[in-house]
Structure 1
Amino acid sequence: MDIKHSLKQRIVIVFALMSTLVAGVFAVGIIATVHVVETRLTIISLGGNLHRQLTQDRIEDWRHRPEKGELFYADDGIDDVVMADDLKDLQPGFQKFYRGKNTYYAMVDTVGGRRYVLLRDQREFEKRERILLGVVIVGFILSVLLSILLGRLLASRVMAPVSRLAGQVRHRDQLLELAPVLASDYARDEVGALARSFDETLGRLRAALGREKLFTSDVSHELRTPLMVLATSCELLLEYPHLDDRSRTQVQRISKATAGMNQLVETFLLLARTEGKNAPSGQRSSLSQIADELVDIWRPAIEEKGLAFTFEPCAQAQGLYNTALLRSVLGNLLRNAWHYTDEGFIRLTLNRHGFSVEDTGIGIPLEKQKAMFQPFVRGDEQRGEGLGLGLSLVQRICGNQHWSVTLSSREPAGCCFTVVLEATDVAQALSANPGRR
């Protein structure tokens, strides 16, 4: 499993691991050194004590032993103390000797065919080793904890410029033409190089956004003239008395498509002028007014397709919103429902916070719902009409106006789009239509 950590966490982890390794090596080194040194000192001490005993005139004088915890044995006994059999098998020199649960260091020597053994009890030595081991373990744990604390403090100081740079890059004003450069605030180090890279990238991004807005504005503006010509021509043709019914129907379709295209052009032009902020006020209308207007436009087309159309108004839906943008959102959702519904009904429901558009169409799979608001994504690729821009435009307008749009599935088929126009919890807006999910 790929576990991802932040850069600050990685610094702390690396610092802690490095400190743990160093502290562990020192702890093992201390314990090993003390053990080796004390063993060596024990060898020297036992050897010296045994030599002193052997140089005495009488071995029996050893009953006044100079070292506490030492036992002296000769193979013919001292004061009726006979050398045990386990001591007789010891080889000459220094060695560790076990007697029951007790541990001894033994120094064995042979002089004139006679064996001499000097034992030293190691319980005091083992006690000191346990104390030393405890001190080393406590020191090791404290070193690790201290390294983690220091690692967090150092990581915070190291990451402070990076966090500051990230905050500056995320700030929306960085996309403005007059945004100050970032590199001037940082030293000529790795963070400064990163800031210069961001300056270059943001500069290219600003230029690209400027070209996009200029292109959208110019294209939208230039399209208004031919659309006006088409609309005027359709009006003149519809006034022609000798136009047969079939031709009149086609002209009406052209007029309707021209009106929709003109509305779309106005929406794009308005969004191109916002520069990431709220659109200019312009003409404002209530949700009820826009809904009544679009219901009159879409009801004939929906019923002509054999679908039932239900409109549930709300007397409290009287807030004023940008007319062009609200009309585009509601119109695109109604068009989307009409396009993907072949039987059943389409329902438009207003509430005090916004509205919802429900249908009994083909529905949208759950795994595809998140991608439906992306450009050029369509619910059914087999349907030839449309480029998949309608829902993307709805999402863009809602983001621009601080509205919210959500998609949910209906049972047994179909979907429901809910748009919240006011700053309220989406669940409250959904609860305005209980029992329809």
Structure 2
Amino acid sequence: MEFRLSLSRRIVIAFVLMSSLVAGAFALGIVETVHVVEEKLLSTELGGDLDRLLRMETMEDWKLHPEPGQLFYFSGGQDDFALPHDLKHLKPGFHEVFRGELSYHAFVRLVDGRHYVLLQDQSEFENRERVLFVVVFIGFLLSIVLALVLGWLLARKVIEPVVRLSRQVRHRDQLLPLAPPLAPDYAADEVGELAAAFDSTLGRLRDALTREQLFTSDVSHELRTPLMVLASSAELLLENPALDARARAQAARIARASGEMRELVQTFLELARAQKGSTLVQADVAVEQVAEELIEQWREPIESKGLRLEYQCLQAPRGAFNPTLLRTVMGNLLRNAWHYTEQGHVRLTLLEHGFVIEDSGVGIPESEREAMFKPFVRGGEQRGDGLGLGLSLVQRVCEAQGWQVQLAAVEPSGCRFKVLLAP
């Protein structure tokens, strides 16, 4: 799983890293400067003292004139002036010498093949140097803590307009036609440009949604009249005793198709009203009544195909459901089962919280199940002249009503649609 940091955390991390690099470079610069100055100053000082000692003429002068804390040795010296073994390897120049817990600055000079070494106790200097390094280290840590605090405050200040803008864009009222523009609330900077871009995009989206709603509502409304004419004409034809069996079957088919179209138009009309923000009319409809009506409607097409239509009412859901939308969901799932099943059965089962429609058809591969609820997507076994809108309409209705539709496979073949109804 890919781990992504938020923008505010990335700003804090970048600020802390930059401050750490600057503070670290400054601390290292102080340490290196102290060493360089130490070597330069002490080399000059010890070199001058050693030159003064070398100008002495007698051993007694050397005993009296070394500065406090200084030790003087040379090759071939006697007693206290004898060159110790630990100093014989030193080359001419400045050195640091450690003897147990004591530390010295040493300056070595080679004159006429003889080594002269002057030591100066640097214990006090080392103590001051350690204090300086501790102060530098504490300053480095404090700079990191300060950078963390300042980075957090800066990130909050920088991200606050972006967070506010994202909340405004996500708010559902932003899609309403009278929603105020976002850009005037922000300065003329990058966030302001982003807000202006959102205004432009949301404006086009609002226009598209308005056109879709108007089209759906107008078409649904205008189709009602011709559909009523078709339905009434089919009923009159069925009442005519002069019709032969074939003509009567065709008239019944027209009546059934016009009824289905009328229900579909009513579904689109109510969905359009729901998108406009109005409340859908609910009714205390008996789910088993809708199921029994659809069973009777689909019995002849399903059984004429050689299939078994099975119906079970284990425990029907109770609640206020929109009858048109409920009939649309259940009817489209029955149509889908009839359409994709060549042998076996189609089963409708009512449960306490919904219903299940199961078939023994070709089934839907797992890789295609999610796409089956998208518009104009059909199964691999494409038969008939459908457009692939049935399951998409089911999904839209369920989302509008707060229902859930679940698709699963049936062994050895087939589909199982489970719809959970939320009153």
1:60-139 correspondence runs (5 A): 60-63=60-63, 65-68=66-69, 70-79=70-79, 81-84=81-84, 87=87, 90-95=90-95, 105-110=105-110, 114-120=114-120, 132-133=132-133, 135-139=135-139
Q: Structure 1 residues 50 and 200, CA, compared in 2 at 3 Å: closer, same or farther?
A: same
Deviations 1:208-256 (A, max 9, x none): 1111111111211222222223222322332333433333333322322
Match of 2:146 in 1: 146
Q: TM-score, normalised by structure 2?
A: 0.88
Deviations 1:29-86 (A, max 9, x none): 1222222122222212322332343344534454564343x43212221326532567
Q: Distance in 2 between matches of 1:334 and 1:139?
A: 75
Q: Distance in 2 between matches of 1:174 and 1:125?
A: 71
Which residue identity is paired with 2:47?
Answer: G
Q: Distance in 2 between matches of 1:240 and 1:207?
A: 50
Residue pair 2:234, 2:254 contacting (<8 A) in 1 also: yes
Q: Structure 1 residues 135 and 414, CA, compared in 2 at 3 Å: closer, same or farther?
A: farther
Match of 2:417 in 1: 417
Matching of residue 223 in structure 1 with residue 231 in structure 2: no
Which residue identity is paired with 2:353?
Answer: H
Deviations 1:338-396 (A, max 9, x none): 21222232222222322222222222222222222211112225334311111111111
Match of 1:376 in 2: 376
Q: TM-score, normalised by structure 1?
A: 0.85
Which residue identity is paired with 2:421?
Answer: L
Q: Distance in 2 between matches of 1:130 and 1:369?
A: 71
Task: Report the alpha carbon displacement of residue 114 of structure 1 after superposing the two structures with TM.
Answer: 4.8
The DSSP-based 3-state class of the residue aligned with 2:179 is: coil
Match of 2:351 in 1: 351
The DSSP-based 3-state class of the residue aligned with 1:109 is: strand
Worse-matched range after superposition: 99-108 or 23-32: 99-108
Q: Structure 1 residues 253 and 400, CA, compared in 2 at 3 Å: closer, same or farther?
A: same
Q: Structure 1 residues 190 and 234, CA, compared in 2 at 3 Å: closer, same or farther?
A: same
1:38-437 correspondence runs (5 A): 38-56=38-56, 58-63=58-63, 65-68=66-69, 70-79=70-79, 81-84=81-84, 87=87, 90-95=90-95, 105-110=105-110, 114-120=114-120, 132-133=132-133, 135-277=135-277, 279-281=279-281, 285-315=285-315, 317-380=317-380, 382-422=382-422
Deviations 1:166-221 (A, max 9, x none): 11111111111121222232223222222222222222221111111111112112
Which residue identity is paired with 1:66?
Answer: E
Residue pair 2:109, 2:116 contacting (<8 A) in 1 also: yes
Q: Structure 1 residues 384 and 20, CA, compared in 2 at 3 Å: closer, same or farther?
A: farther
Q: Distance in 1 between matches of 2:166 and 2:191?
A: 11
The DSSP-based 3-state class of the residue aligned with 2:349 is: strand
The DSSP-based 3-state class of the residue aligned with 2:321 is: strand
Which residue identity is paired with 2:117?
Answer: V
Q: Distance in 2 between matches of 1:59 and 1:200?
A: 97
Q: Distance in 1 between matches of 2:388 and 2:126?
A: 81
Q: Distance in 1 between matches of 2:422 and 2:123?
A: 81
Which residue identity is paired with 1:354?
Answer: G
Which residue identity is paired with 1:53?
Answer: L
Report the aligned-residue RMSD: 3.0
Q: Distance in 2 between matches of 1:130 and 1:362?
A: 82
Deviations 1:84-136 (A, max 9, x none): 56755654433566889998643223457654212356777667666655554
Residue pair 1:270, 1:279 contacting (<8 A) in 2 also: no
Q: Distance in 2 between matches of 1:23 and 1:261?
A: 76
Q: Distance in 2 between matches of 1:162 and 1:15?
A: 19
Match of 1:431 in 2: none
Match of 1:434 in 2: none
Structure 1, unmatched stretches of 5+, are 424-437
Which residue identity is paired with 1:263?
Answer: E
Deviations 1:291-340 (A, max 9, x none): 12112112232222222222222455231211111111111111112212
Q: Distance in 2 between matches of 1:418 and 1:161?
A: 44
Structure 2, unmatched stretches of 5+, are none
Which residue identity is paired with 2:227?
Answer: L
Q: Distance in 1 between matches of 2:293 and 2:260?
A: 13
Q: Structure 1 residues 305 and 278, CA, compared in 2 at 3 Å: closer, same or farther?
A: farther
Worse-matched range after superposition: 368-377 or 306-315: 306-315
The DSSP-based 3-state class of the residue aligned with 2:348 is: strand
The DSSP-based 3-state class of the residue aligned with 2:369 is: helix
Matched positions, count: 422
Q: Structure 1 residues 254 and 123, CA, compared in 2 at 3 Å: closer, same or farther?
A: farther
Which residue identity is paired with 2:149?
Answer: L
Q: Distance in 2 between matches of 1:60 and 1:362?
A: 117
